[in-house]
Structure 1
Amino acid sequence: MASSFFKFAVIALLGLTAAGCSSTGSNTMTSGAPLTSASSLVTPAAFAPAVEDSDVAHRAKPYFVEFRARSALSYGHTFAVFGRLDQNGRVPVDANGVLIPSMTEITGLAPATTSSVPYTIGHVLPVPSETGPSDGDSENAYMTANYRIDLTEAEYRGLEAKIRYLKANRPVWHAVLYNCSAYTNEIAEYLGLETVNPLLFPKNYINALKRANT
């Protein structure tokens, strides 16, 4: 893990140089939007992507993780929703399209602040992070892309442990060196998925992740 993290840091530093030469219209930089609102490392395991239209798959795999992108005042935000599917085999939401808290959890990396100042500083220096929900994460109205994988109970418990580990061991956010999509990549890697460039805009990142694994 340490060597792969170091490798990512080197690649990201090169990406920072390239991003500095790019126009503001480039679609290669991403970051988590500012917030408004621990356990042992688990061995990675390969899980097959969900077949969303299969009732049998839903019964056999009643849990899920869904990688999401949402709109924001900045580049947008990448995060993951995980929990138990509803009786229809869907991600549980209420009548307003808001995730049901008793059945779902949200994890995503973003600056631990309600101010735009640390968020701005985080484009130069790492800043303290939080790994819970940020404003708009729970509302389908702001979602711009998604990719869901259904899980058995055993797979889900392993994922929960992995996320607890990440939440306890990822204390900083940086727009390029370690952003919300890089955090999401670690969850995807645990699931045995092929990861993609974390410098893509969130919507492009999620769509690329889906294409790479379907």
Structure 2
Amino acid sequence: MMLLNGRLWLLALGMVVLAGCAPNAQIKPNVVSYNNQGSGHVTATSRARTSTQALQQAGEGRYFIEFRSRYALTYGHSYVMFGRLNKAGQMIDKDVAGLHPASNSPVPYVLGHYIPVPAETGASDGDLEDRYKSASWRVMLNETEYRTVVAYIRKLQARSRFWQATVYNCNAFVGEIARSMGYKTPGHLMRPQQYITKLRQMNGGPNAIGYTGPAG
């Protein structure tokens, strides 16, 4: 029995390199990201775009959502960060939502390639640190748009109980948020860095030619 457990552990360690949405970050070069200074396609509040631009020009009361990917010991993780910017453009009151297995053990990541495993939808280790960021796309919102997006994120978090690598992974979770805002999304079966870069490119604006870090 001990021999069998040892083999399973070695198998888990060997296969974890194939798993995505991992919580353990690995330091990589910092990344410069472009911001979408035009309003997003928030379907429920599309008529508020003029006021969004006015808020941006005023330099205060600015809300944002940033679609992100970060480096990890595996092929990375995608998630969203949202909150407000101060007059200096620094993030304040920021929050994170992303789908990942509810464990730091490699075993659920391996199992999650075959069966759904329990998931968490908050921040994972490394999400809040810019030095791990591999790609990003920021969309500025007014207060009405922001509240609409956050309300959707909370509902999505409440119903997203499981992670499965090919059916419903971190990219799929991020994609649901983007589609709720009216954006086009790529297929979710790609590396998180590629997914966020493609998402940015598919939706035009200044981020169609954005910066992305070295491949992880």
Could you state the TM-score of these two structures normalised by the residue count of structure 1? 0.71
For the Cα contact (< 8 Å) 1:185–1:195, is it kept in 2? yes
Please give the alpha-carbon distance, in whole angstroms, between the structure 2 residues aligned to 1:152 and 1:105.
Answer: 17
- Pick the structure with more helix per residue: 2
Change (3 A) 1:211 1:58: farther
Question: Counterpart of 2:44 in 1: which secondary structure?
Answer: coil
> What residue number does 2:63 align with?
63
Q: Shift in Å at residue 88 of structure 1? A: 2.1
Q: How does 1:32-51 map to 2 (within 5 A)?
A: 32-34=21-23, 44-45=43-44
Aligned to 2:104: 114
Partner of 1:205: 195
Three-state SS of the structure 1 residue aligned to 2:65 is: strand
**Residues 55 and 163 from structure 1, CA distance in 2 versus in 1: closer, same or farther, beyond 3 angstroms?**
closer
Aligned residues: 167
Q: Tell me whether 1:193 sits opposite 2:183 in the alignment.
A: yes
1:31–1:175: 8 Å Cα contact kept in structure 2? yes
2-side partners of 1:134 and 1:197: how far apart? 23
* 1:154 alignment counterpart: 144
The equivalent residue for 2:20 is 31
Alignment pair present for 1:167 and 2:167: no
Q: Is the 8 A contact 2:82 2:94 kept in 1?
A: yes
Paired with 1:182 and 1:153, the residues of 2 have a C-alpha distance of 26
Structure with the higher strand share, 1 or 2:
2
Identity of aligned residues (%): 43
Q: Distance in 1 between matches of 2:21 and 2:58?
A: 32
Q: 1:196 & 1:108 partners in 2: Cα distance?
A: 17
3-state secondary structure, aligned to 2:140: strand
Q: Is the 8 A contact 2:23 2:72 kept in 1?
A: no
**Separation of aligned partners in 2, 1:188 and 1:125:** 26
- Cα deviation for residue 46 of structure 1 reads 6.9
Aligned partners of 1:57, 1:68: CA distance in 2, in Å? 26
- Structure whose CA Rg is larger: 2
Counterpart mapping for 1:71-110 below 5 A? 71-90=71-90, 92=91, 103-110=93-100
TM-score in terms of structure 2 length: 0.70
Q: Which portions of structure 1, spanning 4 or more consecutive aligned residues, are displaced by more than 3 angstroms?
A: 43-48
Shift of 1:127: 0.3
1:132 pairs with 2:116? no
Q: Provide closer, same or farther for how the CA distance between residues 137 and 159 of structure 1 changes in structure 2, counting only shifts above 3 A.
A: same
Consecutive unaligned residues in structure 2, runs of 5 or more: 1-14, 26-41, 205-216
Query: In structure 2, what is the Cα distance between the partners aligned to 1:35 and 1:141?
Result: 13
